[in-house]
Every structure is written in C-alpha cells, then in structure tokens.
Amino acid sequence: MQLIKWYYNALIPFMLVLTLLAGVTNPQSGYREHAATVQAENLISSNSAQNMDDNKPDQTIETPAQPQQEKPQAIQTAQAKSTQAKAVTASAKRVSPTPAPSRSQTSGTTAPAVSTSSITTSSKALAIVSTAKQYLGVRYVWGGTTPSGFDCSGFTKYVFAKNGITLPRISRDQYNVGKSVAFNNLQPADLVFFSMDGDRITDHVGIYIGNGQFIQASSSNGVMISSMSSYWKSRYLGAKRVL
C-alpha cells in the first residue's frame, strides 16, 4: 500500500509537466490542459487528504478494545469468587456444630453422684426403725432380750441383730462402739444415750427415729416412742452411729 502511494505521488508531478508541454505545443488543447490541471489538483488534494488520513493513528488497531473489556471481566470474576467464598464461610459458621462443653463447664451443673454406701446406709437405717416399731407396746422386763419383754439395752441389741448388726449387751458398752454424732446431726437409727441418775454414767439407751423422736424400752411403759423434750435433753449424754 505504501509503495502504491509513493508511485502516485511521483507520477502526479510528471503528468503536470507533460500537460504544460502539451499546452505550449498545441494551443487548441487549452481546455484539456485546464481539465487536466483541475483533475491533477483534485488528485493532489485527494492524495494529500489520503496521506493525512494515512498518517493518523489507526484507532481501531492501536486501541486495544479487548484488553479493556478483559480487565473489568477479571475484576468481576475475582469479586464473584470473593463473594462466593464469604457465602461459603458464613454457611459453614451457621451449620458448624456447637462444640461440646468441657468438664470444667459442666462440673458446676452436674448433680453430685450419690455413693452406693450412702444409699445402703439409708435403707438399712429405715429398716432398723421399721423393725423397732414392730415391738411397740412390748412390756418392760429387767434383763429382757426378747419380744416377751425387753429392757433398754436388750431392746436395742435385739433390733440391730435382726438387721445383721451385733451390739454389746449393756448400754454402757454400747456407748463405746460406733462413731460419735453431734445432737444437731442425728439421723434415724443412731443410738442415743442418757444418764438417768445425772452422774454422767450411761444407764439408758434408745434408737433415734427422726423428727426429734426416739424409740425406747421404758421401765414404766415398755417399748414406746418419746420426744426429745427438756426432760430427756437434760439427761442426754451423746449419740453413736454404728451403720
């Protein structure tokens, strides 16, 4: 294309020279000369305009339309991936299981375990109280150790023996076994001891049944339930737990 343009640019002056020479030698060709001159000028103007257009930058070629479109597309793709990643993360947080609580977190709310020994002791204590109540009304017999008649220590020895626990025969010796219990911590089946003469020597025993009461073999009324009244509190020596 550039070669053709160069050829036309070189040919136009040559044609002008030939036209001038033809006008001098042949005056009758004035009209043709004028026409040729006008045509040559038009051709020069056309070629000049074309040359000017050729010298302009080719916007279609030099302007990279495709790269300009690809850059926003890449940004949109990256943004779309980022949005999708955030959505997946948020979804994972929503469905993630709540971690299980640690032992330190549950220790404050878990009910303490009840030992087997405590359950056994409680049931045996209730059994002893129940056995003792079966003999309510049995008469008092000094030295008695059977349902035909009981004294205080004979009654406690018999009731505990019925539940598999052996006690000494007399109240003074019974006071020397088991674990001492404070008055405020008395529980059913604890042995309670008294000094009837006020000399701090054990001479009477009964079985605590709860609610401030105890069961005993009284010398006046036989086997009966009594309350821890001021009378008995004034003669109270202590209590022992043998379970």
21 pLDDT tier (thresholds 50, 70, 90): low
**0.85 surpassed by pTM:** no
Q: Is residue 166 part of a domain?
A: yes
Q: Is residue 95 part of a domain?
A: no
Q: Is residue 235 part of a domain?
A: yes
The number of distinct structural domains making up the chain is: 2
Q: Is residue 78 part of a domain?
A: no
- Regarding predicted confidence, which is higher, 7 or 88? 7
Cβ(122)–Cβ(110) below 8 Å: no
147 and 226 both lie in a single domain: yes
Q: What is the pLDDT of residues 169-222, one digit of tens each?
A: 999 999 999 999 999 999 999 999 999 998 999 999 999 999 999 999 999 999
Q: Is residue 7 part of a domain?
A: yes
Cβ(156)–Cβ(206) below 8 Å: yes
Residue among 132, 134, 166 nearest 152 (CA): 132
Cβ(223)–Cβ(205) below 8 Å: no
42 and 132 both lie in a single domain: no
Q: Which of 27, 55, 83 is the last residue of a domain?
A: 55
Structural domain of 27: 2-55
pLDDT at residue 122 in the model: 87
Q: Which of 11, 29, 55 is the last residue of a domain?
A: 55
Q: Is residue 92 part of a domain?
A: no
- Distance CA(19)–CA(138), nearest Å, equals 168
Binning the chain into helix, strand and coil, the percentages to the nearest 5 are 55, 15, 30
> Averaged over 79-107, what is the pLDDT?
53
Name residue 193's amino acid: F
Q: What is the pLDDT of residues 109-168, one digit of tens each?
A: 444 454 445 555 689 999 999 999 999 999 999 999 999 999 999 999 999 999 999 999
Looking up residue 186, the CATH number of its domain turns out to be: 3.90.1720.10
Q: Is residue 86 part of a domain?
A: no
Name residue 158's amino acid: Y
Compute the residue count for the chain.
243
